[in-house]
Structure 1
Amino acid sequence: MDFKSTWQIIKAGAAKLFGKDTKVKVIVLIGIAGILMILLSECGSKTQKKPQTADIDSKQVMANYTETLEEKIDQIVSSIEGVGENKVMVTLASSEEYVYASETKDSRDRTEDVGSGESKKTQTKDVKESNLILVEDENGQKQALIQKQIEPKVKGVVVVCEGGDSIAVQQRVIDAVTVALDISASKVCVTKLGG
């Protein structure tokens, strides 16, 4: 059913309902038109929300970082005597963090009220104001200046290898991974690769 036919039905129904009272007709028709406009505007605004690109970018960065770590650990572990074929999995405890440069202004306001006699009232107010330092990028948009980038923290590493049943191989792999990633030995698991 299109808009014109709907409008004709509403108009005919209103004419039968209210007879020849034009003021009532006009008010009812304006009300109905308003309701239709609201309904039509709601139908048009029900578009699906797209995921935020920042979340997608952050997840992709994390996946790339994890993949790079796994490749580096795989290269290191593969060169250890007795390891043989291996697979490496790295899990992260946190995401990449940024510390932004800022400028801080400290000020102190001091107010003294002197009353009659010896009464004095002193109020001190410390004000600390911090603002991010903004710089323009190549597109002319202002962005906060990154002072430091903190790499994600490694939660754990699993190394599955052919020589994983040997205690000596396990220890060499654990030593290599803990030194390479600066993590504790309790976060590294080395086990034998199944057939």
Structure 2
Amino acid sequence: MKDREQRLQAWFRQAKELLGDEKKRINLLVCLGLTGLVLLAVPEWLPKEQTQPELIAEEVLPDSEEYAVQLQERLEELISQMEGAGDAKVMVTIACGEENIYATDSQTASDGANSVSHVLLDHEGLVETVQNPSVLGVAVVCEGGGEAAVQNQICELVEALTGVGANHITVAKMAASE
């Protein structure tokens, strides 16, 4: 314990001598400043990681056909569980494929004119969001599709899940299987 106190006191004496001399203090500050500048420059020397947001988005999101099939399967499963609907088959039609929304930058000139330009990353547009394909229409054929109450419930469910208007949803009764 005493040895540690002596080392600490010796360190304080050296620091006091170093900071007591004005020339040594200025040299120390200059060295610290240069060290800081070198540390700020280090990231510029390291290779930069290149990320391509468009490629990541394309790998994660399904194409329009896969999207339609997944949506059909999920709607069939959900409608089949509704009271009165029974077994169901669903067909979804897609209006257009996925859509990339690119980041833009707007600037106002001194004369009041606005200009909008796309943000570029490595000479390509920066994708801000990727929208899923839009649904054009949905057809549902189910065992209980002949009843108006069931048709209304299915129509409301499909409308809520897909955002498609009621005029683009058709519900019909499934033909009896022999």
* Same fold at TM > 0.5: yes
Show the counterpart of 1:73.
75
| Cross-structure match for 2:64 | 62
Letter matched to residue 134 of structure 1 = L
Aligned to 1:4: none
Residue 164 of structure 2 is matched in structure 1 by 183
Query: What percent identity do the matched residue pairs reach?
Result: 33
Structure 2: tracts of 5 or more residues without a match: 1-58
TM-score between both structures, scaled by the size of structure 2:
0.56
- Corresponding position of 2:173: 192
Q: How far off its partner does 1:80 sit?
A: 0.4
Query: Quick one: distance in 2 between partners of 1:129 and 1:162?
Result: 54
Task: Give, in angstroms, the shift of residue 166 of structure 1.
Answer: 1.4
Aligned-pair CA distance for 1:129:
6.2
Between the aligned partners of 1:131 and 1:170, the Cα distance in structure 2 is 46
Q: Closer, same or farther in 2 for the Cα pair 1:129/1:160, shift >3 Å?
A: closer
Distance 1:152 1:191 in 2: 25
Alignment partner for residue 133 of structure 1, among 120, 137, 160? 120
**Cα 1:78/1:108, change in 2 over 3 Å:** same
- For the Cα contact (< 8 Å) 2:87–2:142, is it kept in 1? yes
Whose strand fraction is larger, Structure 1's or Structure 2's? Answer: 1
State whether residues 106 and 127 of structure 1, in contact with CA within 8 Å, keep that contact through their aligned partners in structure 2.
yes
- On the 8 A contact 1:108/1:127 being kept in 2, the answer is no
Indicate the structure with greater helix content: 2
Map residues 1-195 of structure 1 onto 2, 5 A cutoff.
Answer: 61-107=63-109, 128=115, 130-134=117-121, 143-194=124-175, 195=177
Measured after TM superposition, the shift of residue 193 of structure 1 is 1.1
TM-score, normalised relative to structure 1: 0.52
Kindly indicate whether the alpha-carbon contact (under 8 Å) linking 2:63 and 2:97 is maintained by their aligned counterparts in 1: no
Following superposition, the deviation at residue 163 of structure 1 comes to: 1.1
Cα gap change, 1:163 to 1:129, in 2 (>3 Å): closer
Give, in angstroms, the shift of residue 128 of structure 1: 3.5
